[in-house]
């Protein structure tokens, strides 16, 4: 069945969209939200990887639908919003999870500027692009939530106070600063949207074994997904404009 003709409006069911949900932490966020009985859009840029993930999630009993979505492409993001509108008429929860590191090493003194551009385009501008395309649908929700998948390596406090690479990640001119930029953007959204019912927060999954780090992380993707699921399910009086990990608030 094509993604487009699966209209399946379920007024009582929470509708979520996770970007970069074909693997890693994003896949587990989709599974975790599916386990809550939600209808979850599996955002992924590659057709084969998206369909494989949708098939696996459906086999596990979850109500999921594929959403073709490259966060760096205006047309792809607009089409994704149209698909969610056509299918569900609104969006309750957006998880901006997709990101790239740009590859290491990434020393500021030697970095390839094309790498910096790609990383910022994906990790920051991509989040703004997707968020703004989905906002009209989120505004139709009774309790809209946006979760931006950041990283503790984007904490300038940790970068400047710790020499522990497990806290700071490798020196990087693109990846870590892209997450600092994303955190700053998250705060600006929270300020602009403070008079609405939209709650937006940044989260850190911890050092998780995924493709992103050659599976060197020490947490499972399921563990990494937990904090995003927590912030996706906060009540109406929950926080907005914050930065959280499992252990609590992450310093800026």
Ligand X SMILES: NC(=O)c1ccc[n+]([C@@H]2O[C@H](COP(=O)([O-])OP(=O)(O)OC[C@H]3O[C@@H](n4cnc5c(N)ncnc54)[C@H](OP(=O)(O)O)[C@@H]3O)[C@@H](O)[C@H]2O)c1
| Cα–chain center distance at 169 | 20
- Quick check: 176 binds ligand X (CB under 6 A)? no
Give the residue, chosen from 83, 99, 193, 202, that forms a contact with ligand X under the rule CB under 6 A. 99
Binding residue for ligand X, selected from 32, 41, 144, 217, defined by CB under 6 A: 217
Instruction: Find, among 229, 246, 244, 232, the residue nearest to 198 by Cα.
Output: 232
| Both structure tokens of 45 | 């840029």
C-beta closer to ligand X: residue 39 or 97: 97
Residue 191 CA to residue 244 CA, distance in Å, equals 17
Q: Which of 27, 179, 189, 207 is catalytic?
A: 179
- How far does Cα 238 stand from its chain's mean position? 19
Is 179 tagged catalytic?
yes
Choose one: 79-87, 98-106, 189-197, 235-243; the region binding ligand X (CB under 6 A): 98-106
CB nearer to ligand X: pick between 39 and 208: 208
Does 45 engage in binding with ligand X (CB under 6 A)? yes
Residue with nearest beta carbon to ligand X: 24
Sorted by sequence, the CB contacts under 8 Å of residue 29 that are 6+ apart come out as 18, 21, 95, 97, 225, 228, 229, 232
CB atoms within 10 A of CB 242: 20
Which among 7-15, 107-115, 199-207, 235-243 is the span making contact with ligand X, rule CB under 6 A? 199-207
In whole angstroms, the minimum distance from the beta carbon of 248 to ligand X comes to: 16
- Segment near ligand X (CB under 6 A); pick from 5-13, 43-51, 133-141, 191-199: 43-51
Q: CA 238, CA 234: separation in Å to the nearest integer?
A: 5
CA distance 182 to 16: 21
Q: Which part of the chain contacts ligand X (CB under 6 A), choosing from 87-95, 97-105, 158-166, 188-196?
A: 97-105
What SS3 class is residue 15?
Answer: strand
Regarding 24 and contact with ligand X (CB under 6 A), the answer is yes
What φ, ψ does residue 176 adopt, rounded to 5°?
A: -60, -50
* Helices (runs of H) and strands (runs of E) counted in the chain: 9, 8
Q: Which of residues 53-92 bind ligand X (CB under 6 A)?
A: 69-72
Which residues are known to be catalytic?
175, 179
Residues at the contact surface with ligand X, assessed by CB under 6 A: 19-20, 22-26, 44-46, 49, 69-72, 97-100, 122, 149, 151, 204-205, 207-208, 210-213, 217
């Amino acid at each position: 069945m094509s993604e487009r003709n699966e209209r399946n409006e379920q007024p009582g069911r929470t509708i979520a969209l996770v970007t970069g949900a074909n693997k890693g932490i994003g896949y587990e966020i989709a599974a975790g939200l599916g386990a809550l009985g939600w209808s979850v859009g599996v955002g992924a840029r590659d057709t084969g990887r998206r369909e494989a993930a949708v098939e696996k999630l459906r086999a596990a009993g979850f109500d999921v639908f594929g959403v073709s979505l490259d966060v760096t492409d205006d047309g792809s993001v607009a089409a994704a919003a149209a698909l969610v509108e056509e299918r569900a008429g609104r969006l309750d929860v957006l998880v901006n999870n997709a990101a790239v590191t740009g590859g290491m090493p990434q020393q500021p003194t030697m970095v390839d500027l094309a790498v910096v551009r790609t990383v910022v385009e994906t990790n920051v501008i991509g989040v703004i692009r997707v968020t703004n395309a989905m906002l009209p649908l989120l505004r139709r929700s009774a309790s809209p939530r946006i979760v931006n998948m950041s990283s503790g390596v984007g904490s300038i406090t940790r970068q400047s106070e710790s020499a522990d690479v497990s806290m700071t990640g490798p020196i990087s001119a693109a990846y870590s600063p892209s997450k600092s930029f994303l955190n700053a953007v998250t705060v600006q959204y929270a300020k602009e949207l403070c008079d609405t019912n939209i709650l937006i927060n940044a989260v850190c999954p911890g050092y998780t074994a995924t493709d992103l780090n050659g599976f060197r992380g020490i947490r499972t993707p399921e563990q990494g997904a937990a904090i995003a699921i927590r912030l996706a399910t906060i009540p109406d009086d929950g926080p907005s404009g914050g930065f959280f990990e499992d252990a609590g608030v992450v310093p800026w």
